[in-house]
């Protein structure tokens, strides 16, 4: 059985470093809500839920085994689902948030595929 990256990343979410990484990801790739502490906190909390669901075997990515979901992919998933489910986001903000998602995919493609493919 494959090592559970999701479980390891779930443990990571309780550390200060997870908060720091979340903030750096948002700021470095220009997320429009990067300055909002409540947004960052909610994003991290929901990413932890995604990692728990993945560790439990729920498939959230077609191309990635649930136990191989990492922290970056979980954060990306949370933002992606949020944009898909919410209709109250203004178009200008939606565009910037979608651009952030695209940028993250392009900047860190290895976070969205099985790690075994990278060896």
How far is Cα of residue 6 from the mean position of the Cα atoms in its chain?
12
Contact predicate 18/46, CB 8 Å: no
| C-alpha span between 100 and 119 (Å, rounded) | 28
Report the SS3 class of residue 61.
strand
Report the SS3 class of residue 6.
helix
pLDDT the model gives residue 28 = 97
How far is Cα of residue 83 from the mean position of the Cα atoms in its chain?
13
| C-alpha span between 89 and 86 (Å, rounded) | 7
pTM value is 0.93
**Helix 37-55 and helix 5-12: axis angle, to 10°?**
150
- CA-based R_g, the chain, Å: 14
Report the SS3 class of residue 64.
strand
Q: Where are the domains of the chain?
A: 5-113
Report the SS3 class of residue 62.
coil
Can you give the pLDDT of all 119 residues of the chain as single tens digits?
457 999 999 999 999 999 999 999 999 999 999 999 999 999 999 999 999 999 999 999 988 999 999 999 999 999 999 999 999 999 999 999 999 999 999 999 999 988 777 66
């Amino acid at each position: 059985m494959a090592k559970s990256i999701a479980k390891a990343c779930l443990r990571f979410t309780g550390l200060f470093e997870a908060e720091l990484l979340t903030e750096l990801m948002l700021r470095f790739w220009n997320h429009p809500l990067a300055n909002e502490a409540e947004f960052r906190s909610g994003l991290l909390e929901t990413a932890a839920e995604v990692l728990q669901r993945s560790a439990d075997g729920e498939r959230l990515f077609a191309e990635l085994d649930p136990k191989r979901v990492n922290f970056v992919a979980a954060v990306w998933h949370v933002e992606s689902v949020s944009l898909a489910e919410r209709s109250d986001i203004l178009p200008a903000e939606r565009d910037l948030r979608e651009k952030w998602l695209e940028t993250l995919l392009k900047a860190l493609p290895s976070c969205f595929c099985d790690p075994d493919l990278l060896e």
